[in-house]
A and B are shown apart, each in its own frame.
Chain A
Amino acid sequence: MRKGKMKEEEIKKTIKTEDGWEPVGPTPMPSLTDLRNWDFRLLQTYEPFYAPFCDLCCLCTFGKCDLTEDRKGACGIDIATQQARWILICCLMGTAAHGAHGRHMIDYLIEKHGEDFKIDLGSQVNVEAPIIRTVLGLKPETLGDLKKAIAYVEDEMIHLVSATHMGQEGNYKDFESKAFHAGMLDHVALEAADIAQIVGFGYPTSVADTPLVDLGWSSVNQEKPTIVVVGHNALVANSIVDYLRQNGLNDQVELAGLCCTALDMTRYDKGAKVIGPLSRQRFFLKTGYADVIVTDEQCVVTDIPQMAKDAGAALVAVSDKICYGLPNCSEKDVDQVFKMVVDEEQQVLILDADKAAEIAVRAAMALAPKRRELKKILTKEEATKLAAKCRGTCEACNRACANLLPINNAVFKTAQGDFTDLGKLFLRCIGCAKCEEACVNGIPILKLMQTAADGDTYKIRTGRGPIHDVEIRKVGSPIVLGTIPGVVLFAGCSNFPQDIYDVAWLAEELARRKYIVCLSGCSAMAAAMSKDEEGRTIYEKFPPEFDAGCIVNVGSCVSNAHVVGAAIKIANIFATLPNRANFELISDYILNRVGACGVVWGPYSQKALAIGTGAVRWGIPVVLGPHGSKYRRLFMSKKELDDWTVINGRTAELVDTKEPTPEHMMVVTETKERALITIIKQCFRRNDTPPGRGIKLNSYISAYKQLIGTLPDDLQNFVRTEKDIPIVYKREVISYLKEIGWQPKPVLSLPTIIGTYDTKVPIEATIK
């Protein structure tokens, strides 16, 4: 249905059209189909690649329907369309998780500070919300404005969810367009949520050199009463900090966290500890170090109540998303709840942040003296004895392992008193504990791992939030010209295929080559878990600015918005393109001119899928680790065999550039080695100047030689003229190009795909 006049008026009112900060572009608060042509244009070059995870459709009572090969479901759906429908459903889950998080955070902060509470991100950040400005056309000035952004996300989502019903959408490209929409909405929610918590809780902003804090499971001082918060919404964690401060208990109680709550909590209190990412949840909670476990929301393993019970720890659930069947004690008197938790050992649900905070602290202090014996991990002798039940032959653990690890050998060696392999396994373990479930002898493998695991403590820089406008002014030109070879964001989860060290390795390889490297969430934590010979993590080795050769921790999952925001700001601040309600113009600029790439090396969550899918709509390619294949959809070109025609913005003529850049928009790589060269390649842009392309090719060739041993096999695709060839490799490259019959390709300074499809955006708009 087209937007009616009433809807248009409503949009004008919401985005305050009369505010003249920029003229309103063609797509204010876009609905499901407003950006469909843009999406279809992307899909024309980057065809969806489906890897069905299940051949059936089990979504309605017509079925199960077998969709193998060219069979159709009773409703008429085919296997490709069903994959695309799943993708939309999963993106919606991710968007809903971030959106509900944002809604909760904003409502709470409005309750606390009022709707008119001003958004002030400090002296370095004037373009406060590039995503909301570009998508909605709204310049948010208050918490109340952020609420409008979340309301827009909610409004759109009801239509998207509707499209997944039986007998609704029936074409895979339209499902993908809707998934793009969900992904874009996800980014709106991320930005609104992080801005709200930055201003509402006073997190760092307009500063790059944020504090370094302790990370690692051994950083927790279990001698003290210990509270461990788990999840992604730091609201209650921050209330715990407040309670500790107000009662002078900071030094007496240990506060630590798992996943993004931990990261966000350290933005509020640098004394809090980060235990690690999701992959460490079960591992740590089984140590018994936590006297009180507080669960909030998202990526919280579902069997925490049992683990808490087994560890003799108290459990306080604080989110309406995760109630665990527990009694709701939100209205009860604090002393009464305290008694339930401490004396009666009841697990409770408390939906009042301040009350939950008080209970958590008081319970931890009361329980800690009684739990000293429960905080001990196994001695080597005890672990060896338990492992002795393993014969090393049944391989039930290996077969159940979600990360395909050789567990049996490690456990068997442990039985012989050799913990080396089990210690190495810890670095690759994703913490699902399916091995324990499968073990026919009931060996507590994760507990054995605690004895074998490296107990080092690391430093991570706390999340810094938005990229500064002044930083964008400095790097905008070199990024667009290509002389800063790229901006790479490591986002998402800890479902790493190999060692947890690999994120740090990738980040360092890129920073050494002068890429701007950003990290967030579980990836930011994992990247801290590796030290050089001098004992420094990458956060201590590299500067924290948004500049060439720097390493930036933007913060938690919701902080991912700031890196997409930086790409938008390059178009808006550096190139002075208007971004208000101008999604296509800005995304076209990013796709063709901003060498940015997102990496999710350990993907598992629907949230990461939504983030990645949103990035693609903005024109930012995404590289996934092997587990990403289980998302079941990628976006890939056929490389040099495809049509790479774009428009030369200066002449408005079609030009066949013959160069596949960016080559893919979402691709899986199998190994870290392949990931590095793929990331480097995904930062090539058509707009690169010859010196800029030379710098990028220098990175590509050096990495390829280092890891694969030769010149890149597809080098000819990316050398446009001899001027692109880096001097150090000139002779070798020219010889190779002659050998394979390479022909020069056009170099464009203003490439655009605006005008290659039906759009309201005129080609002239791409030139400023």
Chain B
Amino acid sequence: MATEIMTHPYYKVNVLTGSKGARIITEPEEAARIIDKAKTPLYVFGAEVIDTPVGDKLLIDYALQIAQSRDIPICATAHVKRKMLELQVTPDSVYDIIEIVHFLKDKDWTGVRGQGQHDLVLFTGVRCDLAERGLATLKHFAPHLKTFAICRRSHPNADYAVPIIAKGGKWQEYLAALVKTLGTVTPAA
């Protein structure tokens, strides 16, 4: 179902030129509820998780906590795997961003753990203009799944997007609250 067109994303290059924009998930609790509700989620880590600071941590630290709290399989894109191994975590799959989007288009694909196509795909740390193109692909050609851009720059072509969060401290609070809330919110009926 089409939703209200969202406000402009952080980057002008990503301004929506269409009629179906993301639902903005302002509260981390709501974000947690969406993730908790998913049966076969996937988390796609983009290259920027490696070196983007969030407070005194890196973005990858929060992304890993989100994934691990719900045993969400991880797809490491670009050269993220190297950093994950340093952190003693092995990704469930390694594809570049466009490749994983290509597989996600296919409703019959069996997913990164061979347990069936994913119903919710989280994205973090993908270069914003590239992420937006991948999200546009999935919006049009993957009606069998939902996408959630966990990115403080906001993404109109996702199904769910975080609002623009300009201040680093607020972003850290959002992520921390999301991690804390995951698994504690009763999924909506």
Interface residues, chain A, CB within 8 Å of chain B? 49-56, 66, 68-70, 79-80, 395, 398-402, 404, 434, 497, 626-627, 629-630, 632, 634, 636, 638-639, 641, 667-671, 673-674, 678, 707-710, 713
CB distance from B78 to the nearest CB of A (A): 4
B79, A673: Cβ atoms closer than 8 Å:
yes
A629, B139: Cβ atoms closer than 8 Å:
no
Q: Please, how many angstroms separate the alpha-carbon atoms of A51 and B18 in the complex?
A: 13
A670, B127: Cβ atoms closer than 8 Å:
yes
B11, A399: Cβ atoms closer than 8 Å:
yes
Q: Please, how many angstroms separate the alpha-carbon atoms of A56 and B20 in the complex?
A: 11
Q: Please, how many angstroms separate the alpha-carbon atoms of A517 and B102 in the complex?
A: 30
Once A54-B17, A55-B19 are accepted as A-B contacts, the answer to whether A670 and B78 lie under 8 Å apart by CB is yes
Please encode chain B, from 84 to 126, with 1 for each CB lying within 8 Å of some chain A CB and 0 for all others: 0100000001101111011101100100000000000000001
Is B13 interfacial (CB 8 A cutoff)?
Answer: yes
B82, A51: Cβ atoms closer than 8 Å:
no
- Apart from A670-B127, A710-B81, 18 more pairs, CB < 8 Å: A51-B133, A52-B136, A55-B136, A56-B17, A66-B19, A69-B139, A70-B143, A404-B11, A404-B129, A497-B127, A626-B130, A629-B134, A634-B98, A636-B98, A639-B99, A671-B47, A674-B79, A708-B82
Q: Which of B13, B20, B105 contacts A55 (CB 8 A)?
A: B20
B140, A49: Cβ atoms closer than 8 Å:
no
Q: Please, how many angstroms separate the alpha-carbon atoms of A632 and B103 in the complex?
A: 17
Is B188 interfacial (CB 8 A cutoff)?
Answer: no
Once A51-B134, A66-B18, A674-B78 are accepted as A-B contacts, the answer to whether A395 and B127 lie under 8 Å apart by CB is no
A667, B133: Cβ atoms closer than 8 Å:
no
Is B128 interfacial (CB 8 A cutoff)?
Answer: yes
Number of A-B contacts (CB under 8 A): 127
Once A670-B47, A673-B78 are accepted as A-B contacts, the answer to whether A50 and B130 lie under 8 Å apart by CB is no
Which residues from B are CB-within-8-Å of A707? 79, 82
- Can you list 11 pairs linking A and B with CB atoms under 8 Å apart? A53-B133, A54-B17, A68-B140, A69-B140, A399-B12, A668-B97, A670-B97, A670-B127, A670-B130, A673-B78, A674-B78
Which residues from B are CB-within-8-Å of A667? 96, 98-99
Which residues from A are CB-within-8-Å of B65? none
A709, B46: Cβ atoms closer than 8 Å:
no
A68, B19: Cβ atoms closer than 8 Å:
yes
Once A402-B13, A709-B81 are accepted as A-B contacts, the answer to whether A52 and B140 lie under 8 Å apart by CB is yes
CB distance from A677 to the nearest CB of B (A): 9
Is B7 interfacial (CB 8 A cutoff)?
Answer: no
CB distance from A625 to the nearest CB of B (A): 9
Which residues from B are CB-within-8-Å of A641? 109
Interface residue total, chain B, C-beta cutoff 8 A: 44
B143, A69: Cβ atoms closer than 8 Å:
yes
Please encode chain B, from 1 to 33, with 1 for each CB lying within 8 Å of some chain A CB and 0 for all others: 010000000111100111110000000000000
Which residues from B are CB-within-8-Å of A669? 78, 96, 98
Q: Which residue of A lies closest to B135 (CB)?
A: A51
Is B166 interfacial (CB 8 A cutoff)?
Answer: yes
Which residues from B are CB-within-8-Å of A68? 2, 18-20, 139-140
Q: Please, how many angstroms separate the alpha-carbon atoms of A487 and B17 in the complex?
A: 40
Q: Please, how many angstroms separate the alpha-carbon atoms of A523 and B139 in the complex?
A: 34
B102, A638: Cβ atoms closer than 8 Å:
yes
CB distance from B89 to the nearest CB of A (A): 13
CB distance from B171 to the nearest CB of A (A): 14
Q: Which residue of B lies closest to A630 (CB)?
A: B133
CB distance from A531 to the nearest CB of B (A): 25
B129, A629: Cβ atoms closer than 8 Å:
yes
Which residues from B are CB-within-8-Å of A626? 127, 129-130
Which residues from B are CB-within-8-Å of A671? 47, 78-79
Choose among A54, A434, A629 the residue with the greatest number of B CB atoms under 10 Å from its CB: A629
Which residues from B are CB-within-8-Å of A673? 78-79
Which residues from A are CB-within-8-Å of B10? 398-399
Q: Please, how many angstroms separate the alpha-carbon atoms of A213 and B6 in the complex?
A: 52
CB distance from B154 to the nearest CB of A (A): 11
Closest 3 pairs (CB-CB, A-B): A55-B18, A51-B133, A629-B133
Once A627-B129, A707-B82, A710-B85 are accepted as A-B contacts, the answer to whether A400 and B12 lie under 8 Å apart by CB is yes
Q: Please, how many angstroms separate the alpha-carbon atoms of A66 and B16 in the complex?
A: 13
Once A51-B137, A54-B17, A56-B18 are accepted as A-B contacts, the answer to whether A404 and B96 lie under 8 Å apart by CB is no
CB distance from A459 to the nearest CB of B (A): 31
Q: Please, how many angstroms separate the alpha-carbon atoms of A762 and B101 in the complex?
A: 38
A69, B20: Cβ atoms closer than 8 Å:
yes
Once A56-B18, A68-B20, A709-B82 are accepted as A-B contacts, the answer to whether A49 and B133 lie under 8 Å apart by CB is no
Segment 40-71 of B: residues with Cβ below 8 Å from A: 46-47
CB distance from B73 to the nearest CB of A (A): 14
Q: Which of A51, A636, A674 contacts B136 (CB 8 A)?
A: A51
Q: Which of A401, A634, A708 contacts B79 (CB 8 A)?
A: A708
A674, B96: Cβ atoms closer than 8 Å:
yes
Which residues from B are CB-within-8-Å of A708? 79, 81-82, 94
Q: Please, how many angstroms separate the alpha-carbon atoms of A707 and B96 in the complex?
A: 14
Once A626-B127, A629-B98, A709-B85 are accepted as A-B contacts, the answer to whether A638 and B106 lie under 8 Å apart by CB is yes
Q: Please, how many angstroms separate the alpha-carbon atoms of A381 and B78 in the complex?
A: 42
Which residues from A are CB-within-8-Å of B139? 68-69
CB distance from A453 to the nearest CB of B (A): 24
CB distance from A506 to the nearest CB of B (A): 14
Q: Please, how many angstroms separate the alpha-carbon atoms of A66 and B139 in the complex?
A: 13
Q: Which residue of A lies closest to B142 (CB)?
A: A69
Q: Please, how many angstroms separate the alpha-carbon atoms of A339 and B147 in the complex?
A: 63
B140, A678: Cβ atoms closer than 8 Å:
no
Which residues from A are CB-within-8-Å of B126? 670
Q: Please, how many angstroms separate the alpha-carbon atoms of A627 and B103 in the complex?
A: 21
Q: Please, how many angstroms separate the alpha-carbon atoms of A61 and B134 in the complex?
A: 29
Which residues from B are CB-within-8-Å of A395? 166
Once A51-B134, A68-B19, A708-B82 are accepted as A-B contacts, the answer to whether A630 and B98 lie under 8 Å apart by CB is no
Which residues from A are CB-within-8-Å of B172? none
Choose among A51, A56, A707 the residue with the greatest number of B CB atoms under 10 Å from its CB: A51
Q: Please, how many angstroms separate the alpha-carbon atoms of A52 and B20 in the complex?
A: 13
A670, B46: Cβ atoms closer than 8 Å:
yes
Q: Which of B2, B12, B94, B130 contacts A668 (CB 8 A)?
A: B130
Which residues from A are CB-within-8-Å of B46? 670
Choose among B12, B16, B103 the residue with the greatest number of A CB atoms under 10 Å from its CB: B12
A670, B137: Cβ atoms closer than 8 Å:
no
A668, B98: Cβ atoms closer than 8 Å:
yes
Which residues from B are CB-within-8-Å of A629? 98, 129-130, 133-134
Which residues from A are CB-within-8-Å of B136? 51-53, 55
Q: Which residue of A lies closest to B2 (CB)?
A: A68
Q: Please, how many angstroms separate the alpha-carbon atoms of A60 and B35 in the complex?
A: 42
Which residues from A are CB-within-8-Å of B47? 670-671, 674
Q: Please, how many angstroms separate the alpha-carbon atoms of A54 and B18 in the complex?
A: 6
Q: Which residue of A lies closest to B108 (CB)?
A: A641
Q: Which residue of A lies closest to B10 (CB)?
A: A399
CB distance from B114 to the nearest CB of A (A): 12
Q: Please, how many angstroms separate the alpha-carbon atoms of A641 and B12 in the complex?
A: 38
Q: Which of B19, B103, B140, B166 contacts A638 (CB 8 A)?
A: B103
CB distance from B23 to the nearest CB of A (A): 15
Which residues from A are CB-within-8-Å of B134? 51, 629
B102, A636: Cβ atoms closer than 8 Å:
yes
Segment 133-182 of B: residues with Cβ below 8 Å from A: 133-134, 136-137, 139-141, 143, 166
Q: Please, how many angstroms separate the alpha-carbon atoms of A626 and B47 in the complex?
A: 12
Choose among B17, B96, B106, B134 the residue with the greatest number of A CB atoms under 10 Å from its CB: B96
Which residues from B are CB-within-8-Å of A55? 16-20, 136, 140
Which residues from B are CB-within-8-Å of A56? 17-19
Which residues from A are CB-within-8-Å of B2? 68
B137, A50: Cβ atoms closer than 8 Å:
yes
Q: Please, how many angstroms separate the alpha-carbon atoms of A557 and B82 in the complex?
A: 37
